[in-house]
Amino acid sequence: MAKDLPPPYTAMSRHPMMPRAAHDEAARFNFLTHFNRYLSGNIGAGNRLAYEKRVLPAFRAEHGRDPEHRYEIRDAMNRDEWHRMWSALKRNSMEMRQHFGRQVVLRQLDELDAMARQFNEHSGQLELDPAIAQPHYQTAVDIHCQPGGYHSEERPGDVTVGANYDVGLFATTGGALGGFNDGGGQAVVGWVKAERPDWSPKRILDIGCTIGHNAVPIAQAFPDAEVIAIDTAAASLRYGAARAAAMGVKNIRFVQASGEDLSRWADGHFDWVQTTMFLHELSAKAMPRILAEANRVLSPGGLILHIEQPQYSDDMPLFEQFMRDWDAFNNNEPFWSAMHGQDLKQVMAEAGFPREAQFVAGVRAVVDPEIFPPSPDAGAEDYGRAAIWNAYGAWKPLADERQAAA
């Protein structure tokens, strides 16, 4: 297989809960995977040329200066025909990904719902609470263009949104997250074990887990730990719990709960609090509340770790910021731009994590190189699509360390 080509859809690993794609359905995913790769590389490269050859000179002629903010570049680029073509195709690819996945899932929904119910009743790894309300910032738009977002249900006991997420993520990432779509979780495990080889956390909390594809690798890597994966979306949790049970992972529980209210857990209950590509889904009011609650339930000496795309800074060129902002305005990610423009270290400090205890590290998705191509180097990154992220975190100071700092 050529290294610059994504693997075929049939290379994905199959767990018992995974929806089965028929021949033509797999062919659609293969088309879309290659289409996304072509958009990212061949067509996407034209955006910089359009900016440098046409848009920037025109902006300078009109304003007598260079753009001073990524939004100025966006306004100017949205008048360029090449960028509008690329953007329309990219948006269309996201909608196709969702509808291709839904077709696969809805065709076998009776079977999927029944299997999930059987796995969850047998394992006892699912805890739902109908009193948990869906946050307005999650229901106001169809996030990632998924019809109904990640919370809606076709009927009672439904797993559609979770199954759709699992079956179609391959097409979005081009296989860069590996056979189980868990390259992000594998990357987190690799970083933690390299950073603290002898660390053995006993209680781990994953906030905003969706289907647990990043939490399950943590549970597998720390079999003596109790992993709690929480989300507000029952349909995603049903599928995630059944998926974990089908994979034989028994030390993880999926709990319907909001990160804004972790009052069921005592102060210092968890040794590790984790989020993966979650902070950019939060409103400006919700994020500090969740971080403050995470600080409260984290034990002294414990780890808080957030996997995200890089924050915008003066060191990041405005054109790159503009390109990374595409999801905010075209892929139903309403908080992406504002979140990535924040001083995340200051936000974490205000939540109780001292700046001197914080760190930023790089992580890269872990995949099977014999089947899946490695995520591209930073220089070839598709402005947020590649499986390369930053880890923003802190080791919570011990009581005596806080007193010494005071």
What CATH number should be reported for the domain holding residue 204? Answer: 3.40.50.150
pLDDT at 7: 86
Q: Is residue 6 part of a domain?
A: no
pLDDT at 233: 97
Q: Is residue 349 part of a domain?
A: yes
Q: Is residue 1 part of a domain?
A: no
* Cα 346 from chain centroid (whole Å): 22
Q: Is residue 301 part of a domain?
A: yes
Residues in the chain: 406
Lowest pLDDT segment from 73-82, 111-120, 170-179, 347-356: 170-179
Q: Which two three-digit tokens encode residue 131?
A: 């009193």
**At 315, phi and psi to the nearest 5?**
-80, -15
Helix (H, G, I), strand (E, B) or coil at 262: coil
CA distance linking residue 381 with residue 353, whole number of Å = 31
pLDDT at 4: 67
Q: Is residue 240 part of a domain?
A: yes
Domain total of the chain: 1
Q: Residue 86: pLDDT band by 50, 70, 90 thresholds?
A: very high
Computed over every residue of the chain, the mean pLDDT equals 92
Query: Any residues with CB less than 8 A from the CB of 406 and at least 6 apart, and which?
Result: none
Q: Is residue 4 part of a domain?
A: no
CA distance linking residue 327 with residue 305, whole number of Å = 23
Q: Which domain holds residue 381?
A: 11-406
Record the pTM: 0.94
Comparing C-alpha atoms, which of 153, 148, 26, 46 is closest to residue 90?
46
Q: Residue 1: pLDDT band by 50, 70, 90 thresholds?
A: very low
pLDDT at 174: 80
Q: Residue 197: pLDDT band by 50, 70, 90 thresholds?
A: very high
Q: Residue 127: pLDDT band by 50, 70, 90 thresholds?
A: very high
8-64 per-position pLDDT tens digit: 999 888 899 999 999 999 999 999 999 998 998 889 999 999 999 999 999 999 999
The enclosing H or E element of 69 equals none
